[in-house]
Amino acid sequence: MIIIDDPNDERIAPFRMRERGLNTRADRRERVGAGLFVAEGDLVVARALDAGCQAVTAFVDAVSPPQVVDRFGPDVAVYAAHEDVRRVGMGLGVPLSIVALFRRPAPLPVESLVHAQRVVALEAVDNPINVGTVVRSAAALGWGGLLLDRTSADPLSRRALRVSMGTSFSLPFARSESLEATVSAARDRGTLVVALTLDDGAMPLNAVLVAPHQPVMLLLGAERTGLSNELLHAASLRVTIQMASGVDSLNAAAAAAVACYALRP
């Protein structure tokens, strides 16, 4: 381990960066995997390693480094510092025992997910906390994949990974250039496409009947605007979660958790 005593040391500057600093526009377009992501905390780091992600460098507690450090190969630079230096160097109010940088895995093709038994599809859900919570709920309840449109937040962003507790590594995800076309094609193949909406006339979630072995795709949109008309028309069913009097809706992440449970395999 390399001891760091200056929080402004250039060698630890990347640990304070957000996604735009770690990934160029060319990286985000790259189809074979490029750029980096940040894993915060020993559990998320361990899950990244379990998933086969390649560590690049790490920043750890000099007094009590976590055991996961022993899993790094000799080519991974490990920097260590005391709490005051880590607080600034990590860009966190409460410094963690480890923050690590990993190479982003190659993105999955959409076709690898659309045949899964249960898939969540997100449109314009740009809050990484909501995306991370959806990932955690879907993974916990046995769903097989996550589809995102071009505008939804990255499941490997710092905040999404933190909220999902690293379950983004166990839930395959892909980004569709045309979510409407992807959803329509899945519906035409026999997938039951369930759109969550507040629209008048939507059927209650607890009234949805799923045939044995029928694949299900759950559609969710942004909290304020909901799903686009195009995706609503592409769905098999429009469904709502009934609320108590005086309450109009749940937030996107909570609604996803309820629907994932109700429609779980």
Q: Are 77 and 15 in contact (CB under 8 A)?
A: no
Coil, strand or helix: which one is 237? Answer: strand
- Residues contacting 75, CB < 8 A, separation 6+: none
Q: For residue 172, what is the domain's CATH number?
A: 3.40.1280.10
**pLDDT beyond 60 at 25:** no
Pairing mode, strands 98-103 and 36-40? antiparallel
Residue 147 has pLDDT above 70, yes or no: yes
Residues 204, 239: contact at Cβ < 8 Å?
Answer: yes
Q: Tell me, what's the pLDDT at 27?
A: 45
Sheet holding 98-103, edge to edge: 2-3, 77-81, 55-61, 98-103, 36-40
pLDDT higher than 90, residue 132: yes
Shared domain for 38 and 123, answered yes or no, is no
Q: Are residues 135 and 238 in the same domain?
A: yes
Residues 165-189 have pLDDT tens digits of 999 999 999 999 999 999 999 999 9
One domain, residues 71 and 118:
no
On the question of pLDDT at 249 being above 70, the answer is yes
Classify strands 173-175 and 118-122 as parallel, antiparallel or unpaired: unpaired
Q: Does residue 98 share a domain with residue 199?
A: no
Residue ending a domain, among 77, 103, 129, is 103
Query: Rounded to two decimals, what is the model's pTM?
Result: 0.90
Residues 168 and 240 reside in one and the same domain: yes
Mean of all residue pLDDT scores within the chain: 91
Report whether pLDDT(32) > 50: no
Q: In this structure, are 49 and 137 located in the same domain?
A: no
What DSSP element (H or E) covers 86? helix 83-90
- Res. 22: pLDDT tops 80: no
Q: Report the alpha-carbon distance of residue 148 to residue 146 in Å, rounded.
A: 7
- Regarding whether 170 and 255 lie in a shared domain, the answer is yes
Q: Do residues 176 and 151 share a domain?
A: yes
- Per-residue pLDDT of 227-242, as tens digits, reads 999 999 999 999 999 9
Q: How far apart are the two ends of the chain, measured CA to CA in Å? A: 46
Please give the C-alpha separations between residue 258 and each of 77, 193, 208, 241, 249, in angstroms, as whole numbers.
Answer: 42, 16, 13, 8, 12
| Domain co-membership, 115 together with 235 | yes
Residues 258 and 162 in one domain: yes
* Domain end (from 103, 133, 168): 103
Query: Are residues 191 and 90 both part of a single domain?
Result: no
The domain boundary, picked from 69, 103, 137, lies at 103
Regarding whether 119 and 65 lie in a shared domain, the answer is no
**pLDDT greater than 60 at residue 24:** no
Model confidence at 33, pLDDT cuts 50, 70, 90, reads: very low
pLDDT per residue over 44-87, tens digit each?
A: 999 999 999 999 999 999 999 999 999 999 999 999 999 999 98
| DSSP calls for 120-183 | EEESS---HHHHHHHHHHHHHTT--EEEE-TTSPPTTSHHHHHHHTTGGGTS-EEE-S-HHHHH
- pLDDT, position 131: 97
What proportion of the chain, given as a percentage, has pLDDT over 90? Answer: 78
Contacts of 63 (CB under 8 A, 6+ apart): 82
| 6-16 average pLDDT score | 90
The Cα–Cα gap between 232 and 191 comes to 15
CATH of the domain at 38: 3.30.1330.30
User: Which string of DSSP letters, residue by residue, matches 32-77?
Assistant: S--SEEEEESHHHHHHHHHTT--EEEEEEESSS--GGGGGS-TTSE
Q: Looking at this protein, which amino acid is placed at residue 155?
A: P
Higher pLDDT, 20 or 102: 102
Residue 28: pLDDT band with limits 50, 70, 90: very low
Residue 222 per-residue DSSP state = B
Domain span at 138 = 110-262
What average pLDDT score do residues 231-255 get? 92
How many domains are contained in the chain?
A: 2
pLDDT of residue 19: 61
Closest by Cα among 78, 60, 82, 72 to 6: 82
What per-residue confidence (pLDDT) applies to 21?
Answer: 53
